[in-house]
Structure 1
Amino acid sequence: MSRSAFSRLQAPWLLIAPSLVLALFIISYPIFNIIWQSLHDVSRFGAIRDFTGLQNFLTVFEDPVFLASTRRTLIWTVCVVGGTVLISVPVALVLNQDFHGRGVARTIVMLPWSVSLTMTAVVWRWAFNDDYGMVNVTLQRMGLISGPIHWLATPEFAFPVEIAVGILVSIPFTVTILLGGLSSVPGDIYEAARIDGASAWQQFRQLTMPLLRPFINMAILLNVIYVFNSFPIIWVMTQGGPDNSTHILVTYLYELGFRLGRPGEAAAVSLIMLVMLFVFSIAYLRLQPAKEGEPS
């Protein structure tokens, strides 16, 4: 290989090297710090003390709250992401149609995305308040309940309520991704399908869904990462209660590190979460080509 050809190959790497080094530092330093803490006894003020090996991990795995939080995290992620995608697809299809007031409708759907997730959780906590919340008041005026329901103080109700709120706040982002995908679909193929006698359902199943699948896959992957680490909704509404019945891993981690003063164990939980997300992301991306008939 000539020197000029070798220089041309090196040039792109030299141009991106500063940004690459900065990105590696930003990513690697916190991970190294968390690994270091997870292998040591750490005081509640962050002072690194004795080396303990895998003791923090063993302590976490023996904690029944951690095991329950892990199971609940999987339920939370599957339900919120699944419910979000199921609702967002028809909403995006409707908003993609040409009708009077479509711009206003799109604005209304996207508007919650501009509101802080913490503020949204505060509003819903007020809405589900036992005494003056609008949910109880509305249901009582409609005659559907005889007295106030303790939504956030009852384990059977609190977690499903938070899942419903999680779905509602995830819809705007997902609809935005799907609308971007629908806008790239040419309208000519639908006209050709109608000429060939294809019904609306056949057009949706044979044309819309295959063309929209890459965007649905993107929405699922991004939502899993986002929802898996979603902290404000559960912490603001119930703080993991009542009786630890709504804890997911991220709220359990926060409680370990900042309320119970066990940062070493919190670091171990954060590494477990990182590994879980990494394994899911790799597995999901590896499975997609096989589903679409491409070599993996």
Structure 2
Amino acid sequence: MRRHTGVSGFLAFVMILPSIVLTLWTVGYPVVDIAVTSIHSVNRFGRTTGFVGLANFAALLADPIFVASFWRTLIWTASVVAGTILVSLPIALVLQEDFAGRGLARVIIMLPWAISLTMNAVVWRWILNGQYGMLNALLFDLGLIDGPVEWLAQARPAFMIEIAIGIFVSMPFTVTILLGGLASLPSEIYEAARVDGASAIMRFRALTLPLLKPFINMAIVLNIIYVFNSFPIIWVLTQGDPANSTDILVTYLYKLAFRYGRLDLAAAMSIVMLLILLVFSVAYASMAMRSQSAE
């Protein structure tokens, strides 16, 4: 019996070995190549010209635009993810209820997900255009403004608008995860809580939130990874301008590589971003395991 199990395990490993090799090649080779590039000097034609060690990383740390983009990325990620969870949870709770038009409401909520991020950003750029945008036209018709407003011309309002759009486009995916979690919750405990006289708020705090915690954690982790690396919204709306004041790491990386021709610095920044996400993933996994063991 043990021999048969061992043979079956070996055959299973042999069958999945090509997939493992392909995955290691497609994922591992680019990472190794970028890591090698990050410790070399590279000219504008992409040719390695000499070993520089950690000089590229030191140059990044001395670059004020990189430092500002780093902190702005943290603000962008935390704001979008937190806002997405806070907005998506009540929407998911409402869509879980049985009411007339629930199917249509779910379709409407999912519509932004059916459109690419780039197309979403293009539509919002048109809406926010200072000369012919729909937002200015609406506010002018309502008498709230007496002239065109350039919504994306100043750093602070532009960045806050981008955060709001980030929440808007992240909401459908998060609502889908939370709806899946709500659908899996046992209805018996809610019936028992109603019989015991528990109010809706008490049921939410004592039952829904604790039982929905794994799905909320999943939504947080996936959204952090997606939002941290999100490129289209900020690039299409402002391209990190004015004067790099809305840049996050991924948009500044693009500028370094393809606008300024600093492929070595861009490779170093890619490694930094990879390490940040790796540290976050390891920290979250350890916290999740501790939480499960404590329960």
Q: TM-score, normalised by structure 1?
A: 0.96
Does residue 165 in structure 1 map to residue 165 in structure 2? yes
Identity over the aligned pairs, expressed in percent? 58
Aligned to 1:143: 143
The answer to which of 154-163 and 68-77 deviates more is 154-163
1:294 is paired with a residue whose SS is: helix
Compared CA separation, residues 295 and 151, structure 1 to 2 (3 A): same
Q: 182-191 vs 143-152, which deviates more?
A: 143-152
> Per the alignment, in what secondary structure is the counterpart of residue 240 of structure 1?
coil
Q: Structure 1 residues 60, 187: closer, same or farther in 2, change over 3 A?
A: same
1:156 aligns with 2:122: no
Matched residue type, 1:281: S
Q: Distance in 1 between matches of 2:115 and 2:81?
A: 20
Match status 1:255 vs 2:230: no
Give the residue type in structure 2 aligned to 1:244: N
Q: How does 1:256-275 map to 2 (within 5 A)?
A: 256-275=256-275
- CA deviation vs aligned residue, 1:148-174 (integer Å, no higher than 9, x gap): 222101112110010000000000010
1:70 aligns with 2:70: yes
Aligned to 2:288: 288
Length, aligned pairs only: 295
Structure 1 distance, partners of 2:142, 2:278, is 47
Looking at structure 2, the residues matched to 181 and 129 of structure 1 have their Cα atoms a distance apart, in angstroms, of 39
Cα distance in 2 for residues equivalent to 1:177 and 1:115: 18
The CA RMSD measured in Å over matched residues stands at 1.6
SS at match of 1:86: helix
Uncovered stretches (5+) of structure 2, i.e. residues with no partner: none
Deviation per CA, 1:198-257: give whole Å up to 9, x if none.
Answer: 000011111111111101100000000000000000000000000111000000000000
Q: Deviations over 1:14-61 (max 9, x none)?
A: 232221111111111000110111111112221122111111111111
Structure 1 consecutive aligned stretches of length 4 or more whose deviation exceeds 6 Å: none
Q: 1:10: how far off?
A: 2.6
Which letter does structure 2 place at the counterpart of 1:233? I
The alignment partner of 2:50 has SS state of strand
**Which residue is 1:97 aligned to?**
97
Deviation at 1:3, TM superposition (A): 4.4
- Of 100-109 and 180-189, deviating more is 180-189
2:242 aligned counterpart, secondary structure: coil
Partners in 2 of 1:276 and 1:269 — Cα distance?
11
CA distance in 1, matches of 2:119, 2:3: 59
Q: Is 1:54 aligned to 2:54, yes or no?
A: yes
Q: Does 1:19 align with 2:26?
A: no
Q: What residue in structure 2 maps to residue 126 of structure 1?
A: 126
